[in-house]
Amino acid sequence: MVTATENTTARVLARCHTLAGFSEDREGTRRTFLSPPMRDCHNEIAKWLAPLGVNVGVDAAGNLRGLYPGATPDAPRLLIGSHLDTVPNAGAYDGILGVTLAVALLEALEGRRLPFAIEVLGLSEEEGVRFGVPFIGSRALVGRLDEELLNRRDANGITVRAAIEAFGLRPGEIPQAILPAEVLGYFEFHIEQGPALEDLGFPLGAVEAIAGQSRLEFTFTGRANHAGTTPMHLRYDSLAAAAEWIVAVEKYAGEVPGLAATVGVIDAKPGATNCIAGQTRASLDARHASDEVRHAAIDSLIRRAEEIAARRELTVGTRTLFDQRAVLMDPYLVEQVARAMREIGCEPHRMVSGAGHDAMILAQRVPAAMIFLRTPGGISHHPSETAQPGDISKAIECGLQLLKQLGESSDFRMRTQRA
């Protein structure tokens, strides 16, 4: 079994913090789509890859792409990477760790060639911060960066198209960024961004699905009135109805395995201390690996809201804001990840990602799989986000074992021949 050295692990950690220093803000890390610090990221990563014989370029959507050749000039390619953009006041690992680990795997090969080439991806945009739409980088790779998205504007009125041009790229070349047919698959290492692996005591997890997600808005309408003069039995309190429903949401989600349901926003009007709320809006975020279970949950929670409103002599309306189907990872690749975990002495724990990732977009065109690293405290999108050196070492070992398996696998060679 190949083991990761302390120097390799320390180098991955140091590189994460180096990239975190490329920021639009003097204090803290913020790096949005094709902002000037993104160029610094590209240049730094290119320096790491150059000694490995990697051909590095940036496509028209701003994705860094570095190709490590395979054993033959016409070898198909395997993609490994993640995103380089961040949220405001970000940590040093979300997205970036997946790119630095990809570089570390190429370094550990020490020049050995595999039956497939390896393309390192540093995707330009996943978070949706600058333009309010996520996955710009991975959308380009699957042919979904359309005119509507290119014309979308940021807070300063700059379009996606103009941002691409300002970075020195040509929007007309975006079709050239689409992944070719000979791509065998995509692997993404990523911090879990949650507490499940830490709770189980596992360093790694094999992601077998990315949860589908629904976002709705519920509006409870009653009657505003004076808080001091209206008897309790003569009230039509929209906030009290919403509160009862929120408790029902929590109870329902706790009884359905794998379901996450959250009311994260509540807005009561008129919003005065001495006034009964006449109208209350509340959000609902529901996620599950099964679209059928998720949609059944939405239907049930809508009915529950209607029952509560009717009993209280109020009305309730609903509006769907977002509905994203669940995405299964490629079963063959997930099994290969699980096998690699067993080979390096890790429990092959399979799990569902509650958050969205580039893998869910790339899975529309190529087989995809993800490997989660334990996130101490479950903290992400925050400067205190971190990863344990021992878990990073295990991720490197898992990645090398995975490459070894795929290089020796007759099933994977058949995929190579089909490509």
Q: Are residues 68 and 200 in the same domain?
A: yes
Domain enclosing residue 104, as ranges: 6-210+326-418
- 79 and 205: one domain? yes
d(CA 210, CA 369): 10
pLDDT (tens digit per residue) in 242-292: 999 999 999 999 999 999 999 999 999 999 999 999 999 999 999 999 999
Which residues lie closer than 8 Å to 407 by C-beta, 6 or more apart? 114, 115, 116
Domain CATH code at residue 111: 3.40.630.10
* CA 310/CA 219 separation, integer angstroms: 13
Q: For the chain, give the percent of residues with pLDDT over 90.
A: 94
Q: Are residues 90 and 170 in the same domain?
A: yes
Domain boundary among 278, 303, 324: 324
Read off φ and ψ for residue 266, nearest 5 degrees.
-140, 135
Token couple for 303: 């009915």
**Residue from 240, 285, 289, 226 nearest 261 by CA:** 285
| 166 and 225 part of one domain | no
Query: Does an H or E element contain 316, and which?
Result: strand 315-324
- For the chain, how many structural domains are there in total? 2
Residue 24 lies in a domain: yes
Q: How far apart are CA 53 and CA 219, in angstroms?
A: 58
Is residue 357 included in any domain, yes or no?
yes
Token output for 191: 């911090």
Phi, psi of 366 (to 5 degrees): -135, 155
| pLDDT tens figures, 371-381 | 999 999 999 99
Other Cβ atoms within 10 Å of 36 Cβ, number:
12
* Average pLDDT, rounded, for the chain: 95
CB 361 within 8 A of CB 190: no
Tens digit of each residue's pLDDT (9 = 90 or more) over 73-102: 999 999 999 999 999 999 999 999 999 999
What CATH code is carried by the domain that includes residue 305?
3.30.70.360
Is 12 a domain residue? yes
The pair of structure tokens assigned to 55 is: 């051909």
pTM above 0.95, yes or no: no
Query: What is the Cα–Cα distance from 215 to 85, expressed in whole angstroms?
Result: 24
Residue 5 has a pLDDT of 74
Asked, for residue 90, whether it belongs to a domain, the answer is yes
CA 122 to chain centre: 14
Say what the pLDDT of residue 418 is: 52
Cα separation, 174 vs 59, in Å, equals 7
Say if CB 349 and CB 200 are below 8 A apart. yes
415: pLDDT confidence band, cut at 50, 70 and 90? low
* Cα 346 to Cα 372: distance, rounded to the nearest angstrom: 13
Q: Is residue 199 part of a domain?
A: yes
DSSP of 237-276: -HHHHHHHHHHHHHHHHHHSTT-EEE---EEEES--TTEE
Pairing state between β 64-68 and 117-123: antiparallel
Q: What tokens does 241 get?
A: 């109805």
C-alpha 204/C-alpha 196 separation (Å) is: 10
Digit-coded pLDDT (tens) for 154-190: 999 999 999 999 999 999 999 999 999 889 999 999 9
- Taking a C-beta distance cutoff of 8 angstroms, is the pair 220, 309 a contact? yes
Mark whether 223 and 197 lie in a shared domain. no
Residues 311 and 338 occupy one common structural domain: no
Flag whether 140 is in a domain. Answer: yes
Q: Are residues 95 and 40 in the same domain?
A: yes
Using the 3D structure, point to which of 283, 306, 324 is the last residue of a domain: 324
Chain mean position to CA 216 = 21
In this predicted model, what pLDDT tens digit does every residue of 124-157 receive, in sequence order? Answer: 999 999 999 899 999 999 999 999 999 999 999 9
pLDDT at 417: 56
% of the chain residues with pLDDT over 70 = 97
3-class secondary structure for 190-241?
A: EECCCCHHHHHCCCEEEEEEECEEEEEEEEEECECEECCCCCHHHCECHHHH
Query: Mind giving me the DSSP string for 132-179?
Result: S---HHHHHHTT---HHHHT-B-TTS-BHHHHHHHTT--GGGGGGGSP
Q: Which secondary structure element, helix H or strand E, spans residue 281, and what is its range?
A: strand 279-288
Asked if residue 1 is part of any domain, the answer here is no
Our measurement of the distance from residue 268's CA atom to the centroid of its chain's CA atoms, rounded to an integer in Å, reads: 32
- Give yes or no: residues 40 and 162 share one domain: yes
66 inside domain: yes
Structural domain ending residue among the three candidates 324, 341, 360: 324
Tell me: cis bond preceding 367? Omega within 30 of 0 counts: no
Residue 412 pLDDT: 75
Residues 246 and 175 in one domain: no
Q: Are residues 200 and 221 in the same domain?
A: no
For residue range 56-65, list pLDDT tens digits in order. Answer: 999 999 999 9
Q: Are residues 167 and 302 in the same domain?
A: no
Q: Rounded CA gap, 32 and 86, in Å?
A: 6
Residues 97 and 246 in one domain: no
Cα angle 295-189-25, degrees, rounded to a multiple of 5: 95
